[in-house]
Amino acid sequence: MIIRQLRTELGASNLQLLPEYRARVLVLQRRQYVDQQGQVLLKGQVASLIGAAHELVVTELLLQNVLGELSAAEVAALLSTLVFQDHRLQTEVLRSYMEHVQQTLPAVYSAYSELQTILADLLALQRELSIEDSVAGAKSLEEQVNPGLMLAVYHWANGTVSYYTTSIALCLYDSS
């Protein structure tokens, strides 16, 4: 009796998820990760090999060759924006920081702009299809990325961790 009741309840809860599932498949179809028959395409295969959050974003960065001209340290700096979730910078501090990034690491700044465009496109598509839980659970672009550690990660990845690098991270942390 209990097993039959559980099966009924589980079946009903799964049916509630069906519209969201279909919408997510439609996102994958529109972005050409799967075809109309549900066959996984090249982009889908690449995304499936990425074992972290933001699989679609990283796949787009790879296949649009955004990462191709960047050094390993620059790639690490760029990808840090997707995983750093602590402390949002105040607007004026962020603006000043990003101006410094633009002067110091112009290629990373350009790639970051492309990353934001990719994310904005994905978020718009998900909103269009009424998917509540957008990329990584955030509703806005600002909730998706956090550039606060780009310079520190760049210097760390280059092996130039110093007082300067540490002070960048600490100043940003203290100013927020």
Reduced 3-state DSSP string for 24-83 = HHHHHHHCCCECCCCCECHHHHHHHHCCCCCHHHHHHHHHCCCCCCCCHHHHHHHHHHHH
Name residues whose C-beta falls within 8 Å of residue 99's C-beta, 6 or more positions apart in sequence.
Answer: none
Give the mean pLDDT of the chain.
82
In this structure, which amino acid lies at residue 172? L
Asked if the model's pLDDT at residue 53 lies above 90, the reply is no
Question: Is the pTM here over 0.85, yes or no?
Answer: no
Asked if the model's pLDDT at residue 166 lies above 90, the reply is no
pLDDT band at 170 (very low <50, low <70, confident <90, very high): low
Note the pLDDT tens digit of each residue in 88-118: 667 777 788 889 899 999 999 999 999 999 9
